[in-house]
Amino acid sequence: MKILAIALYAGILLAIGYFASKKMHDIRDYFASGKNLGFFHVAFSARATGESAWLLIGLTGMGYALGAKAFWVVLGEMIGVGGAWLIMSRRFKRLTDRYDSITVPDYLESRFRDSGHWLRLIAAGSLVIFVPIYAGAQVFATGDAFNSFLGWDHILGATIGFAVVMLYITQGGFTAVVWSDVFQGSLMFLGLVGLPIVILLEAGGYTNIMESLRSIDPHLLTLHGPGEADAAGVVAPSTGGWTTATIVSIVGLAAIGIGFWGSPQVFVRYISMKNEQQIAPGATMALVWTLLADSGAVLVGLFGRAVFAPESLGGDHEAILPHASLELLPAFFSGVFIAMVLSAIMSTIDSLLVVASSAGVRDYWQKTRHPDMSDETLVSLSRKVTIALSLVAFAIGIGLLLRDREKPLFWIIIFGWSGIAATFCPTMILSLFWSKLTSMGSKCAMVAGFLGVPLFSFVIPPVLKSLDPPAPTPEELAAGAEMSSTFFTDIAGYLGALDVLLPSFVIGFIVAVVVSLVDKKGQAKLEGVEDDLRFAKTGQD
């Protein structure tokens, strides 16, 4: 029965790809659905794309390990989604229609009056690098999902799941992505709202759940959460409290929402809307979806902690959703939950690949090399580039599957998300509200944000730790030696708790402002930008 549910799911996706291909006539259809989508499609597509496997596997696992502290992620998501829809999307929609943009680099080039193509190339290059990493993490998640639910080999599951994505996306383009996102976003929403209720009933009600969690660790019910987790992600009882490290980690969790303030795979949805009248109902739908689905994910983990011991999950807290659905639901419905996890994964992979393909084909090949290329040739080339990027992402995902998988999936996916967000978000925010942002400021900000992610991940923490003197040996301590300073090690620990997105974003933002203010030649080229931003704000010239 589980296989039947998955087969039905895959069949629906392939049918969507086939019918979407009939709607596609030119490059605007392939990359932006002809800019003719309504609020329902845009809201569900943006939410399904913005979440990915980190919601179904990562956030449920975080709820299991950290308890109510994981709700800080939900707060960050609400601020991020709300800010994007309510503050940025209307201005962005007005300007992209004014410039006739169909990709984010299209918009950036027009907004900054950049004719040298370097801005477009930097934007396209960052997408082509980070998107396969992000998508590769989703491939990794696909393999884990098939293994957890069906016991299949990780690589076999990843291969089958990714093959389905490639089939429907290469045929139907962005329209297939949006239609499939509506279907998949609906599955995700229903599953995440419904499963906590099932677990609650299994536990005998709310009172039993609370008593069980207090007996395990009362800190699970606090917003500061437990203390540091062990290798399996489980925290010993009686640890936790409001410490500096706790506060920093909470800021890092909430900062994940920054990525919604300019990431191209989200903002291309606003480009595709048929008019700005879709924004208000779309914002309402997106915020309701985010609040209920994200809170449901945390509650799956939190309630699951009360019912399922860590040993039953094999020490893997991110297995809570597959384990709970397999244990508590009939076979067909547990198969639906497999489809739900795959929905979160595929709805992100397909969007990422279309965005990266548009970067390679539209923003590099057509705009900088072959401006007279026909739409028919462009669509054909776009399909080939999509396949090529798919294979790169698949190779990265298999590489992740073959590695030592100790780092939680949540943070693997967030690394790719952070790379895209830190590159684009400072520029996107400033471009809509500050008329003095120049092309050079934008380019430098994108490079700084892009480099900040690997630097804060792999370079800065070990360098900081090396600045502290070595700790004295037990013999030296016994002889009266004093403990050496751990100042820089502590700073490295705080950066680790904060994670990479917020510091990379801040650096990109500062670089954008400073470079733009000293770039007098660039400011001289911004003729008409104040009029554009006035139009973006008021809708009137």
Q: What pLDDT sits at residue 131?
A: 73
Residue (of 348, 297, 286, 292) closest to 82 by Cα position: 286
Evaluate the CA torsion angle 142, 145, 147, 151 in order and state its sign: negative
Delimit the domains of the chain by residue range.
2-111+118-424
CB contact at 8 A, 437 and 427: yes
CA atoms of 494 and 488, how far apart (whole Å):
10
Distance CA 301, CA 114 (A): 48
Nearest to 85 by CA among 348, 258, 264, 279: 279
Amino acid at site 416: G
In the block, tokens 């689905």 appear at 293
Beta carbons of 344 and 48 less than 8 angstroms apart: yes
Dihedral over Cα of 459, 464, 467, 472: its sign: negative
Cβ neighbours of 214 (radius 10 Å): 13
Burial of 491 (0-12, 13-18, 19+ CB in 10 A): middle
What pLDDT, on a 0 to 100 scale, did the predictor assign at position 344? 66
Give me the pLDDT at residue 173, please.
Answer: 59
The helix (H) or strand (E) run that includes residue 202 is helix 154-203
Which ranges of 22-59 does DSSP label H, i.e. alpha helix? 27-32, 39-51, 53
Whole-angstrom Cα distance, residue 346 to residue 53? 9
- Side-chain-facing half-sphere of 129: CA atoms under 13 Å: 16
Query: Does residue 205 contact residue 51 with C-beta atoms inside 8 Å?
Result: no
Closest CA to 172 of 355, 346, 17: 17
Where does residue 369 fall: left (phi above 0), alpha (psi -120 to 50 degrees), or beta otherwise? alpha
Q: State residue 230's pLDDT score.
A: 46
pTM of the model: 0.85
User: Model confidence over 156-197: pLDDT tens digits?
Assistant: 887 887 777 666 555 555 666 777 778 878 888 988 999 999
- Dig out the tokens for 209 from the structure: 């759940």
pLDDT digits (tens, 9 = 90+) for 428-464: 999 999 999 999 999 999 999 999 999 998 899 999 9
The pLDDT assigned to 77 comes to: 95
Reading the block at residue 59, the tokens are 């956030």
CA distance 137 to 414: 9
User: Which ranges constitute the DSSP H helices of 474-500?
Assistant: 474-478, 487-498
Radius of gyration (Cα) for the chain, nearest Å? 24
CA atoms in the 13 A half-sphere facing the CB of 409: 28
Strand-pairing partners, residue 37, are 273
3-state secondary structure 382-419: HHHHHHHHHHHHHHHHHHHHHCCCCCCHHHHHHHHHHH
- Ranges of residues in the chain with a pLDDT under 50 are 230-234, 238
How far is residue 26 from each of residues 35, 69, 375, measured CA to CA in Å?
12, 47, 5
The reported pLDDT for the residue numbered 233 is 46
Of 75, 59, 74, nearest to 341 by C-alpha is 59
Helix (H, G, I), strand (E, B) or coil at 273: strand
Alpha-carbon gap, residue 158 to 394, rounded angstroms: 8
Q: Domain 2-111+118-424 carries which CATH code? A: 1.20.1730.10
